[in-house]
Amino acid sequence: MRCVLPLPPLSSGVLKTSLLFAAYGVVSISLTLINKSLALAYPHPWTTVLVQNSGALVCTATLLVCRVQALRPVRRSHVLPGFVNAIWMVMVIWSSLRALHYVPVPIYVVACNARPACTAILEFLVLGKTVPIDRAAALTIIVVGYVIATMSDFAWEGDGVGYAFLYTFLVGGLSVYEHAIMCKLKKEQTPIGLNLYRLVLSLPFLAVMIGVSGEASIAALPLLDGGGLLLIASSVLCLAIGVLMFELQLRASATSMQVFNTVAKFLTTMVSLVTHPADISLAAWTGYFLCVMGFLLYTFGVPRLRPRNKELLEFDRVFDSKGQDGR
């Protein structure tokens, strides 16, 4: 007779973490698909990011005025890390929009699947974390899959592959940087406060880039058609994903964040086959699934690192209990 071990109850902290991850996944999927539509209908990325950040700033100010969220006193020492974070995030969104303009969503996701690898490499260079040989082998599989997927089908312009790779590198580094900021400033500022820094400090940089790129003279904001609705929706989602990301930085490691990001991107691929169908070759799909396999080996092929957070330790204990049950 099969013995089933009783599962320990989830604490409120673990439940909140699970709900935050679920909300983050829904917002991430929605934002990627909306940005794909925006990139095709409105190919002015700097202006798009400016409108998104401005809309998110209005939403943030509303939450603060209504006292839904709290803001701690602003300190001079917060300005420089906040400015670096702002420029970094702008470049992440810009490279994402440029990649989505050229490549179909599944190929974009191939690049996204390499983010844990970039994060692991940067954690090794910045934090001194080593990469075991089995994980190095998994990273090799990811790279091989990336090359096959991006080089086997030339139905899209080659620039998109470069933008996708740039996005992969930037977002991997941003995850490490934001995790460090959140750990350093969590007692001095709230997550929505850090997100406010990022939004406010990004506006001057975006204004300069719009002028330099010439978008200021050619971009007519489509506020009264479908493009306008997409811009408004993306602004709200940008605020949501920013706050959720900072909240989760307190509860999960940078690599764990990439794990959930990659799961969300896989679901994004499935949904995009309906919302944004594309003609993708068998070789490209082969590369895609090689990347997924490499990611799974990288993530689950070795014992998981135990987080220091007490609630996450309990989350792991519950997960392990489910594994013993075989469910």
Does residue 12 form part of some domain? no
Does residue 326 form part of some domain? no
Contact (Cβ atoms closer than 8 angstroms) between residue 202 and residue 89: yes
Q: What pLDDT, on the 0 to 100 scale, is given for residue 158?
A: 60
Low-confidence residues of the chain, pLDDT below 70?
1-13, 68-69, 116, 127, 131, 150, 152-158, 216-227, 246, 249, 253-256, 258, 299-327
DSSP class of residue 252 equals S
Does residue 17 form part of some domain? no
Does residue 100 form part of some domain? yes
Half-sphere exposure of 17 (CA within 13 A, CB side): 22
Burial of 32 (C-beta count, 10 Å sphere; 0-12/13-18/19+): buried
Q: Please report the sign of the dihedral spanned by the C-alpha atoms of residue 81, residue 83, residue 86, residue 92.
A: negative
Q: What pLDDT, on the 0 to 100 scale, is given for residue 307?
A: 46
Structural domain harbouring 142: 23-320
What amino acid is encoded at 140 in this protein? T
Q: What is the 3-state secondary structure (H, E, C) of 62-128?
A: HHHHCCCCCCCCCCHHHHHHHHHHHHHHHHHHHHHHHHHHHCCHHHHHHHHCCHHHHHHHHHHHHHC
Does residue 13 form part of some domain? no
Contact (Cβ atoms closer than 8 angstroms) between residue 244 and residue 20: yes
What amino acid is encoded at 74 in this protein? V
Does residue 92 form part of some domain? yes
Residue with the two structure tokens 């990811």: 142
* Range list of H helices, 186-225: 191-213, 215-218
What amino acid is encoded at 133 in this protein? I
Task: Compute the distance between CA of residue 186 and CA of residue 233 in angstroms, rounded to an integer.
Answer: 29
How does pLDDT run across 254-296, given as a tens digit for each residue? Answer: 566 767 777 787 888 888 888 888 877 788 888 888 888 887 7
Helix (H), strand (E) at residue 45:
helix 45-65
Does residue 155 form part of some domain? yes
Q: What pLDDT, on the 0 to 100 scale, is given for residue 87?
A: 94
Q: What pLDDT, on the 0 to 100 scale, is given for residue 321?
A: 43
Domain total in the chain:
1
Does residue 4 form part of some domain? no
Half-sphere exposure of 141 (CA within 13 A, CB side): 20
Q: What pLDDT, on the 0 to 100 scale, is given for residue 253?
A: 66
Q: What pLDDT, on the 0 to 100 scale, is given for residue 13?
A: 66
